[in-house]
Chains A and B, each alone.
Chain A
Amino acid sequence: MIMEVDGLSQGYGNNLVIDDISFTAKSGELLTVLGPNGCGKSTLIKTLCNVLSPKKGTIYVDKRDLSNIDPKEMARLIGYVPQTMTHFGHSTVYDLVLIGRRPYVDWSYSTNDLRVAADAMITMNVNAYISRNIRELSGGQRQRAFIARALAQEPNFYIFDEPTSSFDLRNQLDTMRIMRNIIHEKEACLIVALHDLNLAMRYSDRVMVLNDREIYDIGEPEDVITSKMIKDVYGVTADIMEDMHGLFVRTYDINTDLVEDRA
């Protein structure tokens, strides 16, 4: 399946956050969206999963206009993990993950629904505390539970907004690896907003950099994540280094590091 974004503009009031951008994402690929704070990553993500409707431009999934697709069908196409995680009252992890099955059920869950939900919880390693109240979980556990909810939805496109923000190192790597395996196995697509350049470098198939309302660059990670891009977009001096495992980003703080002396 292919998602095509065509001439998309989005903003709040008269203030445009994204201005006329176009790109595509297809099944089997992990597309990372990078960019500084306030560049419109979250706005783009919300527009892609139809939480916000586009101001201008169209999003097509397999040539069909997203805004004409029935909400129930769209729910089976796109699974979303928001940046802020709300929860209410005495909801448990199980309750949360079962919300992901909503597009498939009318009133009661079938054995298949329960099996898919259990799979999702085992995959995200939250199966040990399925009946715990969400409020009692740590930030990382909670984020894993929200990702499990999106997995239970079995969509063709996963759209995550900074899913690794409350993860420790281990969880960041695990989650990105799990998601990469899932999209390759199930021929799904993951569009994910990230801040960590090294995670993006390591796991993405393609990287898109948003800056100043437009796409700065899009392409293979090693072509996009360059010293020049980091300088232009983030205003930070950095080198792309290589060791036996591949490329990584080394950043410098111009106030303390002797930037001129760098290798």
Chain B
Amino acid sequence: MTNVQEPVDRFDAERDRIMSTMQTTIEHDRIEGQYDTSQRSKVLFISAMGALTIIAFICSLAIGSVDIPILDALSVLGHHLFPSWISLPDTAWYDTIIMMERFPRTLLCLMTGVSLAAAGTVMQGLLRNPLVSPFTLGVSTAASFGAAISIVFGSSILGGAFYSTFSFLGFDMTVKNIFLVLMSFAFGMFSILLVLRIAKRDSSRATLVLSGVVISYLFQAGISFSKYISNDESLREITNWLMGGMWNATWSAIVIMTPIVIPCIIYLEKMALDINSLSAGDEIARNVGIDVGKLRNKGLIASTLIASTCVAFTGVIGFIGLMAPHMCRMIIGNDTRYILPASALLGSSILMFSDIVARVIIRPDQIPVGIILYFIGGIFFIWMVTRSKWSGKL
């Protein structure tokens, strides 16, 4: 190599060396500074989402067929947390409405939103496909088929035990609810295994989403069948519940969901860095020491579990798992460590606000919140796939 110019003398060489070291140091500082700034803005975004969730939570307690002043609503909650410090508001029936009706309902919304959004985030990362979610992969419909057959056939399978109740930690639990969750999860798992089999052969974006649609149709047929053969009472229950509503918001539901949802979310958050590694392809993930098959199975099982648990109580609530992660990805990028909490909070806020709308839109009656989300979500999905960035790749 003779094309390298020799420096004129030793001092020039030394000066060049110092200059380049200095430039490298400055560049280092700039890059690390940029990392810090982006971390800070991600944390800020999550805090903003947290604040939004709190606002949605309080509004959801206060607004409904009867409006309760926000301070009174808060003091009811405060009283049950610290009975000796905060007294109940003067209007006595506020306590009944909030504790029996709105508080469990809001908690159900919160947990459903968190679960569906987190499940969507994780599924998207694991399958490297921005269009998948519990709903678009057919998990929701499959889980609701499980729940539908347990509503119709539950009493004939379990006999009288189906409607029996028992007391757990002071809450009345029904066998029916537990059976519902188990059946939902079983069928949700079945559909995700089907999707995984298809993904093994061809994991392109369109194939996965299309197979999700087809799986939905299959289970839709099953749901229609169970509706057709069910008696009037079950039929009404299934129809209402399929549209996705929060009527099943009882303390018994909350007590079943909490120990499933919270550990699963923590478990998924712990996987975040591994899911990040998957973004550059299975081979690179394997190269940085990740057992890709195991990670995908564990992540999909956990996210299917939380998604189908919610479906068992709320019916099919579409698109939250698609919208919330997508919005967050657009704003704070692809780091699953931050996307997961951010979209969980955003998802629960969206669901709580939608539920408020569902409660007041034809006051004093209410409509299933699923209808509102089908509407918003459908438009969002069309927008997402027709954006020029995606259209070439689908």
Taking CB atoms and an 8 Å cut-off, the chain B residues in 241-297 that contact chain A are 270, 272-274, 276-284, 286-291
Beta-carbon contact of B31 and A72 below 8 Å = no
Residues of A contacting B273 with CB < 8 Å?
102, 105-107
Pick the interface stretch among A3-11, A93-101, A219-227, A228-236. Answer: A93-101
Q: Would you call B130 an interface residue if the criterion is a C-beta within 8 Å of the partner chain's C-beta atoms?
A: yes
Chain A residues whose C-beta falls within 8 Å of the C-beta of B24 in the assembled complex: 122
A72, A99, A122, A127: the one contacting B284 at CB < 8 Å is A99
Identify B32's interface contact among A95, A115, A131, A153, CB under 8 A. A115
Cross-chain contact of B280 among A74, A78, A91 (Cβ < 8 A) = A91
Q: How far is the CA of A146 from the CA of B280 in the complex (A)?
A: 9
Among A12-20, A22-30, A79-87, A193-201, which stretch is in contact with chain B? A79-87
Our pick among B38, B288, B290, B333 for the contact of A153 (Cβ within 8 Å) is: B288
Q: In the complex, what residue of chain A is closest to B272 when comparing beta carbons?
A: A107
> What is the chain A residue whose CB lies nearest that of B127?
A88
Chain A contacts for B27, CB-based, 8 A: 118, 122, 127
Q: Any chain B CB within 8 A of the CB of A63?
A: no
Is B79 interfacial (CB 8 A cutoff)? no
Known A114-B32, A115-B28: A91·B279 in contact at CB below 8 Å: yes
Q: Who on chain A is nearest to B279 by CB?
A: A88
Residues of B within 8 A of A74 (CB): 289
Q: A89-B279, A122-B24, A131-B38 are in contact. Are A149 and B284 (CB under 8 A)?
A: yes
> How far apart sit A80 and B31, CA to CA, in the bound complex (Å)?
24
Q: Chain A nearest CB: distance from B209 CB in Å?
A: 15
**A89 x B130 contact (CB < 8 A):** yes
Interface membership of A130, Cβ < 8 A: yes
List the B side residues contacting A41 at CB < 8 Å.
Answer: none
List which A51-94 residues lie within 8 A (CB) of chain B: 51, 70-75, 78-80, 82, 84-92, 94
Q: How far is the CA of A49 from the CA of B272 in the complex (A)?
A: 24
- Contact, CB under 8 Å: B280 / A75: no
A119 to B284, CA, bound (A): 20
The 8 A CB mask of B47-61 against A (1 = contact, 0 = none) is: 000000000000000
Q: Are B35 and A46 in contact, with the CB atoms below 8 A?
A: no
A74–B288 alpha-carbon span in the complex (Å): 8
A171 within 8 A of B: no
Closest to B270 in A: A107
| Cross-interface CB contact of B334 among A51, A95, A115, cutoff 8 Å | A95
Shortest Cβ distance from residue A155 to the other chain B in the assembled complex, whole angstroms = 9
Query: Are B284 and A82 neighbours in the complex by a CB distance under 8 Å?
Result: yes
Q: How distant is the Cα of A49 from the Cα of B283 in the complex, in angstroms?
A: 9
State the Cβ distance, B357 to closest chain A Cβ, in Å.
30
- Smallest CB–CB gap between B35 and chain A, Å? 6
Chain B residues whose CB sits within 8 angstroms of the CB of A131 once the complex forms: 34, 38
| Chain B 121-141 interface 0/1 with A at a Cβ cutoff of 8 Å (1 = within) | 000110010100000000000
Is A166 located at the chain interface by the 8 A CB criterion?
no
Judge whether A38 is part of the interface by a CB distance below 8 angstroms. no
Closest to A80 in B: B287
Q: Are the C-beta atoms of B329 and A89 separated by less than 8 Å?
A: yes
Of the candidates B31, B34, B35, B270, the one having the most CB atoms from chain A within 10 angstroms of its own CB is: B31
Question: Are B287 and A127 within 8 A (Cβ)?
Answer: no
Q: Is the CB of B288 within 8 A of A84?
A: no
Question: Which of A95, A105, A146 interacts with B333 by CB under 8 Å?
Answer: A95
**With an 8 A cutoff between CB atoms, is A207 at the interface?**
no
Q: A100 near B288 (CB under 8 angstroms)?
A: yes
A50 in the interface, Cβ–Cβ < 8 Å? Answer: yes
- CB-CB under 8 A from B333, the residues of chain A are 90-92, 95
Task: List chain A residues, Cβ under 8 A from B283.
Answer: 46, 51, 80, 82
Asked if B281 and A85 make an inter-chain contact with CB atoms under 8 angstroms apart, the answer reads yes
Check B288 against A91 for contact (C-beta < 8 Å).
Answer: no
Question: Residue A121 at the B interface, CB < 8 A?
Answer: yes
**Which of A87, A102, A114 has a CB less than 8 Å from the CB of B277?**
A102
Task: Report yes or no: B279 in contact with A95, Cβ–Cβ below 8 A.
Answer: yes
Known contacts A86-B128, A87-B279, A91-B280; A130 and B34 CB within 8 A of each other: yes
Which residue of B has the minimal Cβ distance to A119? B28
**Complex formed: what's the CA distance from A79 to B337 in Å?**
24
Task: Tell me which of A49, A86, A115 contacts B281 (CB under 8 A).
Answer: A86
B19-39 interface code vs A (CB 8 A; 1 in, 0 out) = 000001001100110110010
Q: How far is the CB of B330 from chain A (nearest CB, A)?
A: 7
* Distance from B275 Cβ to chain A, minimum over Cβ atoms (Å): 10
Contact B289 A90 (CB under 8 A): no
Residue from B2, B270, B274, B334 in contact with A89 in the complex, judged by beta carbons closer than 8 Å: B334
Residues of B within 8 A of A245 (CB): 1-2
A3: shortest Cβ distance to chain B, in Å? 15
* Complex Cα spacing A96 to B272, Å: 14
Residue of A nearest to B125 (CB): A88
Q: Does B101 contact A (CB under 8 A)?
A: no
Set of chain B residues within 8 Å of A111, measured between Cβ atoms: 32
Name the B residues within 8 Å of A149 (CB-CB).
Answer: 280, 284
CA distance A127 to B7 in the complex (A): 27
Considering the chains assembled together, what is the distance between the CA atoms of A49 and B278 in angstroms? 17
Q: Would you list which residues of chain B between 91 and 145 have a CB under 8 Å from chain A? A: 124-125, 128, 130
With both beta carbons as reference points, the residue of chain A lying nearest to B130 in the complex is identified as A89
Closest to A99 in B: B277
Q: Nearest-CB distance from A104 to chain B (Å)?
A: 10
Q: Does B335 sit at the interface, judged by CB under 8 A?
A: yes
Beyond known contacts A73-B289, A78-B287, A119-B28: 12 more, CB 8 A cutoff: A49-B287, A71-B290, A82-B284, A85-B281, A87-B279, A88-B128, A88-B130, A91-B333, A102-B290, A115-B28, A127-B27, A127-B31
Query: Could you give 5 example pairs across A and B, Cβ below 8 Å?
Result: A51-B283, A51-B287, A92-B334, A99-B288, A146-B280
